[in-house]
A and B are shown apart, each in its own frame.
Chain A
Amino acid sequence: MKPEKLPPRVTEIILDSISNGVFTIDHDWFITSFNRAAEEITGIGREEAVGKHCWDVFRSNMCEKDCALRRTMKLGKDFVDTSTYIVDSEQRRIPVVVCTSLLRDEEGRELGGVEIFRDMSLVEELRRELDGRFQVGELVSRSPSMRKVFNLLPQVADSDSTVLIEGETGTGKEVLARAIHELSPRGEKPFVAVNCGALPDSLLESELFGYKAGAFTNATRDKPGRFAQAEGGTIFLDEIGDTSTAFQVRLLRVLQERTFQPLGATAEVRADVRVLTASNRDLSRMVLEGEFRQDLYYRINVVRLALPPLRERKEDIPLLVEHFINRLNSLRGKSVTGISPETLTILMSYEYPGNIRELENIIEHAFVLCPEGRIAPGCLPESLAGPSKHSSPAGSIDDTLRSVEGQAILEALKRNGYNRLATARELGIHKSTLFRKIKNLGIQIPKIDGRTKGAAGV
């Protein structure tokens, strides 16, 4: 039987029905066709794309130096599965996989090229979610607020710039500084951490810059300072906001000139040292109030990283607990297998004024009382396990837990623009469980549909 004649424009219909983006170009790199999926992936309508240069529409990182289509047109060869990314009009990077071929007519004459591309965003996202955690050195997290810090880390490490790390006490500023050092080209050289807040001015200067024999009474021999010890590597100046303005002037000079003068020395010493700083105080406010020198602030604030307090990233508590248990097991030769759900509930409801360091201390305390098996509520410090500070004076523990749970769900909903599915995914629960909890806990949700584009990030 003779097949039925295909309708006109059949190629266009077929191309529009597939999920891969497809566009064709002529010999002058002008786009001659652009299918529906290409419109969706790039966010550019075909009437705007057709007739434009392909690089102005596709905007990929390979356009300028290693264009797959250019190679195809030059060599007459197909290229399959080239990984690249494009940047859309909202400035988002979209990972794509590209295949390129020559475009020929029925007689085999070359008309130009064809590029087929697949949006890999979902695959990339799933790949990340499969693991769900980020870990660099001792830094471990699955929280979106920390993801920003993790994304920045490689570039920050590579840059050799001065970095200012801000965060409350115990949020892991030194751990982050160490991670930056280890990822940097200076990673093999020394990392020296100094708590500036712990020493008075005169001692801090001799500690940092060293002294010569005879510089003061009892200085019987030369002592190299921390800057000298960190030569070629990194020095981490913690609690920089607690230093005097006189010391800030000296430090500014070191950062500007890259030289320092040990006490009692007559010559300057060159310092090839990267400086990382940290503070648990708001330095910008201190500058406004005249408590911190503005010139030094600008010098150290080349790159600023803010570490969120643990109460704002509670989803990390189970992960951090597991991390500390593993570490303490290997350090102390113990065999604690985990933590009971009741204990975890108590840990999740606490506010952690001392942040991660406090959580670490709590687990260390539990290791003393529970050398094996699962950590039970009784192994926690009394202030946590008993009728505690974190519960409201009038309410029972159940009320407190309900309120904390409600708060956590509401915050997650806000973070996800009230998209229930995304919230359930973030919280690691099924969406129907989330619906039930929203109802049971009486959480009031604004009358917007989180699935609607534009709701997120409000």
Chain B
Amino acid sequence: MRIAITVWENRVSPLFDSARTALVVELDRDSARERRYEPLGPEIPISRALKLSQLGVRVLICGAISEFFADLIAAQGIQVIPFVTGNVEEVLEAYIKGSLTRDPFRMPGCGKRRRHRFRGGRGGFRGRWSI
């Protein structure tokens, strides 16, 4: 399965809408088999959604993301895990281990009030929204 994490230096990019690069990782069982950096192109919601879809991404891990971007990406069948912060390698490892819901990876203000429910790891999603 292929996932993407928006990156800024060695961190998760704080805002997907203006992020410039994504780390695309091919996961094989419990390890990252292949990885490459991809530019995300212009800050246009539909072109970003299509870009991720063309890259074959199934899951997007990112920082904050505005609703409009998130909806268009979800419409491409991509699961969005928003409001994630921290070092990219640690985030990737946590995702593989299923422990991404832990506090250190959560942006401030995105705890209990969050509308998104996910169990924090591979195969653990129950749909993107739980409105």
A residues whose Cβ falls under 8 Å from a Cβ of B: 42-45, 48-49, 52-53, 55-65, 87-93, 151-152, 154-156, 158-159, 161, 302-303
Contacts and interface: CB of A to CB of B under 8 A. Distances in A.
Interface in B10-54: 13-15, 17-20, 42-47, 50
A159 B76 CA distance: 14
30 contacts: A43-B109, A44-B108, A44-B109, A48-B108, A53-B85, A56-B14, A56-B63, A56-B85, A57-B107, A59-B14, A59-B15, A61-B18, A61-B43, A62-B18, A63-B15, A64-B8, A64-B20, A65-B18, A87-B64, A87-B65, A88-B64, A89-B83, A89-B109, A89-B113, A89-B114, A91-B82, A93-B66, A93-B68, A159-B46, A302-B50
A56 B20 CA distance: 17
A156 B46 CA distance: 7
A91 B13 contact: no
B115 interface: yes
B113 A92 contact: no
Interface string B100-113: 00000001111001
Given A87-B17, A87-B64, A89-B114, A59 B107 contact: yes
B45 A64 contact: no
Contacts of A154: 44
Contacts of B43: 61
A56 B84 CA distance: 9
Nearest to A34: B108
Contacts of A63: 14-15, 18
B37 to A, nearest CB: 15
A88 B42 CA distance: 22
Is chain B's interface secondary structure helix, strand, loop, or mixed overall? Answer: loop
Contacts of B68: 93, 151
B47 A155 contact: yes
A35 to B, nearest CB: 15
Contact of B46 (A62, A64, A155): A155
A337 to B, nearest CB: 41
Given A48-B108, A59-B14, A91 B67 contact: yes
Given A48-B108, A89-B109, A90-B115, A61 B44 contact: no
Contact of B63 (A48, A59, A88, A161): A59
A308 B129 CA distance: 25
Contact of A158 (B18, B19, B44, B109): B44
A57 B44 contact: no
A48 B106 CA distance: 11
Contacts of A55: 14
Nearest to B106: A56
B19 A64 contact: yes
A61 B17 CA distance: 7
Contacts of B44: 154-155, 158-159
Contacts of A65: 18, 20
A79 B13 CA distance: 24
A454 to B, nearest CB: 12
Nearest to A84: B18
B113 A158 contact: no
A161 B50 contact: yes
Interface in B82-131: 82-83, 85, 107-110, 113-115
B81 interface: no
Contacts of A57: 107-109
A159 B15 CA distance: 21
A52 B11 CA distance: 14
A44 B106 CA distance: 13
Nearest to A57: B108
A303 B45 CA distance: 12
Nearest to A63: B14
Contacts of A56: 14, 63, 85, 107-108
A303 B46 contact: yes
A154 B17 CA distance: 16
B75 to A, nearest CB: 8
A57 B114 CA distance: 15
